[in-house]
Amino acid sequence: MALASATGKPCHNPPIVKKICLSVGDRSEERTVESWFADAKPIDSLEPEIAFRLWDQFHPAPEHQPEPLDLPEFPRASRLLARTSEVTAHEAELAAYYGRVAALARQHALKIHQVRQYFWMDLRLDNEEADVHLSFPWYDTVSSMDHFLAAVAGNDQGMLHDDQDQGWAVEAWAFDGTLYIRQSNPDSDDEPGQSVVLPRADLQARIAPLRERTAKLMAYLAKELGPDVWLGGEVQSAGPFDQR
């Protein structure tokens, strides 16, 4: 398959080699791209999902014993994770769970920044059949996750996303409808990480309903609870953490 140039003209190098063709004015030139493209695992698709991290205990302070925290009862694959697809039609039950978190925080006179971990979320890209599991451990709010999702969902070519934090890095590239994603550990030469290549349109088609579903859930929770903690925003004065 040929790569698209910056002007939309096809280049004749295959997408997994180390060179791509770019048209600059009336000239064509080759530029080196990432060497890991050649080792990327070809897959048909990835399933993107965002999940709420749940806790079955509330830890008010190091000197206090943890207190039990009742979990939502709706069906889900993982006891301490609630995927957006699982929460649909159970929004009130999830809101009630977070209401219990807020009540315990008020009881111990805790501010939102002291209990923010109870509102963390997870973003994952999985293909069970191909045994591919890409995680984003440093993205714990919708706003941080959406930078990646929006980049893949758009139409830009070349490097779409590049980020790293302690022991983790992710990068995504796109050329002519083909998407390359790599997760690695920049602090270790002994961990090869995971790299995949797949059709961009398929992942885009899955990202669109995920973003829509997540936005609706965030709006519901914000309406019920006040502070928009999942989006990384600031606490509203009349929210459930208000100590008045």
Q: For the chain, give the percent of residues with pLDDT over 90.
A: 69
Mean pLDDT, rounded, for 74-101: 97
- Whether residue 243 is contained in a domain is answered as no
- Whether residue 14 is contained in a domain is answered as yes
This model's pTM is above 0.85: no
DSSP string, 56-83: SEE---TTS--EE-PPP-S--SSTTEEE
Sign of the Cα torsion 122, 191, 148, 43 reads negative
Distance from C-alpha of 71 to C-alpha of 93, rounded to nearest angstrom: 9
What does the block give as tokens for 131?
């045994």
Number of domains in the chain: 2
Query: CA-based angle 70:138:141, to the nearest 5?
Result: 55
Same domain, 100 and 193: yes
Same domain, 85 and 148: yes
Residue range of the domain that includes 20: 3-33
Question: How does pLDDT run across 90-109, given as a tens digit for each residue?
Answer: 999 999 999 999 999 999 99
Any idea which of 39-43, 145-149, 185-189, 199-203 has the lowest mean pLDDT? 185-189
Res. 24: pLDDT tops 60: no
| Alpha carbon distance, N-terminus to C-terminus of the chain | 63
- Whether residue 242 is contained in a domain is answered as no
Distance from C-alpha of 86 to C-alpha of 92, rounded to nearest angstrom: 13
- What is the overall mean pLDDT for the chain? 84
pLDDT band at 7 (very low <50, low <70, confident <90, very high): very low
Same domain, 18 and 131: no
143, 215 contact by CB (below 8 A): no
